[in-house]
Amino acid sequence: MFDEIPDVVPFPRKGSKFHEPPNPGYRVRAVPTRYPDQVQLSAVLRPLYGRLPARADIEDATAWARYFWRHRVQELVEAGWPPLARDDGHSRLANAMRCPVTFVITYFTKAGTKLCRFRQICPFCWAREVRRQWLKVDAAFFPRPIRKGRVRMVDTDPEPAKSSSFTHSVKDGEPAVKSPYDLVRRVFTYRLRPTYPIKIYGQVGLEVPALPAWLDGRIRGHPYPELYRLPEIRPLLTAAGPVAGLLEAIDIHPVVDPAAPWEVQVRQLILASAGGQVPTSLPRAATAKPRHHIVIRRPSRRTVVSAVARTFRYPTWLLDPDQSVDDVITYLNAREGRRLVASYGCFRARNA
């Protein structure tokens, strides 16, 4: 039914030399390098393959990402993951196998091809979601002046010079434009045991899987209200000023530790008034590393691109064939019905 996929080859590691990629099933017409393209590249392909100094490297990395994504789809089907394996899931399976790539512009796409919209795992739909989030953030950090009269709508994103090495650097040809606001990046990390107890009528009751319980505590305030993000976020927004905005993304990945097999990282990006003092304290329960509170005064657009890409960094282990498909399914089931990305303040008011 689908194109034949060759046997798995060693997963190309960051910094390693590329093997010749298999035929991706498309021909590349161009490799775009504008800001919306760079934020997708930095969020997905660089975590997978590191620096990509040449356009040919981006083409190869894109082909390999598609190759390993399709292998993961097949494993999920064989493992019986419901969204792909159920009887009525044929259309979603077809869309997953043929999801159009990002990062490169192809000559044509087969008629009827649709996005798979598995944004929680598909590297290409993940990249599109990162782009959507960046559009909100960029519009907030770099507000455009209001012009009177009729204005023709055109694409005003600056095109990097042809000699720019922006594919692996954010310094070449840096524009002089700076944001009138400050940017704050916060990162804090939790290590989770396999299970956690929950209280029933005030008494300790059942042991439940830790990952979904932690996410419910962080997102909804139950069963662990001490993890709830709203009481933590409100003071941050107040201190950041009247125009403040905050984005939070939750990253999950397994670790080789039977006593604490999951690590959860909370990444926050804050727009604050220039010169403001956002509290530097991080949650006490987040005792693992990394733990960061970084303030960047009046950032450039490229700095904001880098910050958004770091905030929405793709979990590379999802495509690694050495990673158990059972861990991937545990991750996907924990995410089901839970929004791991939240926006507040000025970011929430802007639609992209």
Q: What is the pLDDT of residues 95-107, one digit of tens each?
A: 999 999 999 999 8
pLDDT recorded at residue 23: 82
How confident is the model at residue 146, as a pLDDT?
59
What gap in Å lies between CA 43 and CA 48, rounded to an integer? Answer: 9
For the residues 329-341, what does the mean pLDDT come to? 95
Q: Give residue 279's domain range.
A: 180-298+322-349
Torsion from C-alpha of 234, 236, 237, 243, nearest 10 degrees? 180
Of 32, 34, 40, 31, the C-alpha closest to 306 is: 40
Token duo for residue 10: 């060693």
Residue 84 pLDDT > 70: yes
Residue 350 has pLDDT above 80, yes or no: no
Torsion of CA 52, 187, 312, 39, to 10 degrees: -50
Total domain count for the chain? 2
What is the C-alpha separation between 225 and 220, in angstroms, rounded? 8
337: exposed, middle or buried (Cβ count in 10 Å: 0-12, 13-18, 19+): exposed
> Is 75 part of any domain?
yes
Q: Which of 63, 76, 79, 162 has its CA nearest to residue 116?
A: 76
Percent of the chain with pLDDT over 70: 80
Say whether both 192 and 330 belong to one domain: yes
Residue 273 pLDDT? 96
In a domain, 88, yes or no: yes
Q: Which token pair is 84?
A: 């792909």
Residues 201 and 80 in one domain: no
Specify the higher pLDDT residue, 298 or 351.
298
Same domain, 209 and 131: no
Report d(CA 305, CA 96) in Å as an integer: 28
3-state secondary structure of 64: helix
Where does a domain end: 138, 159, 193? 138
In a domain, 314, yes or no: no
Inside any domain, residue 265:
yes
What are the backbone dihedrals phi and psi of residue 262, each rounded to the nearest 5 degrees, phi first?
-130, 140
| Residues recorded for the chain | 352
Tokens 């991750």: give the residue: 331
Label residue 144 by pLDDT band (50, 70, 90): confident
Note whether 332 and 222 are same-domain residues: yes
Same domain? For 232 and 104 the reply is: no
Mean pLDDT, residues 149-161 taken together: 42
Whether omega before 261 lies within 30 degrees of 0, making that bond cis, reads: no
Q: Is 202 left (phi over 0), alpha (psi -120 to 50) or beta?
A: left
Same structural domain, 100 and 194: no
Helix (H, G, I), strand (E, B) or coil at 155: coil
CB 319 within 8 A of CB 72: yes
The DSSP bridge partners found for residue 200 are 203
Q: Measuring CA to CA, how many Å separate 172 from each of 165, 176, 244?
A: 7, 12, 30
